[in-house]
Amino acid sequence: MKTVREISEIVGVSKVTIYKALKSPDIKPHIIRQDRISFIDEPGEQILVKMFRKVTKTNSKVSAKVETNAEVLFLREQNAELLKQIDKLTALAENLTRLNENNQVLFAQQKIEALSAPEPKKANLLSRIFRKK
């Protein structure tokens, strides 16, 4: 003999659902009440288990398909968004690479210009004295 709570845990439904099922004429003879607690004997327990296993199996199959379809659609949308972000990031990375290469070329040109520029001649003392004004 098991209590309503134990059967509800076995079957996976609430106690209220089990109490509602106890009103059916098939299960009424299997109910034993002691101290305001309802006990169900083995044949009654098996009837309840069969009754609710069919319902939960059917519901779980339908909900699994619905969840799977919704999940697949969500994942496809998310995948498309992520692919767009990857394309944008790839384009930015290519631009940064080009900018880096350009900066390196400009820096090298500035070094070459700095090295090849002639140094200004210092005016000697005589040229300062006899400079034309």
Containing structural domain, residue 101: 2-115
Contact (CB, 8 A) for 48 and 40: yes
133 belongs to a structural domain: no
124 belongs to a structural domain: no
Q: Other CB atoms closer than 10 Å to residue 133's CB: what's the count?
A: 2
26 belongs to a structural domain: yes
61 belongs to a structural domain: yes
125 belongs to a structural domain: no
50 belongs to a structural domain: yes
Q: Which residue has the higher pLDDT, 16 or 85?
A: 85
Question: At 17, is the pLDDT very low, low, confident or very high (cuts 50, 70, 90)?
Answer: confident
51 belongs to a structural domain: yes
128 belongs to a structural domain: no
Number of structural domains (the chain) is 1
Contact (CB, 8 A) for 16 and 31: no
Record the pTM. Answer: 0.40
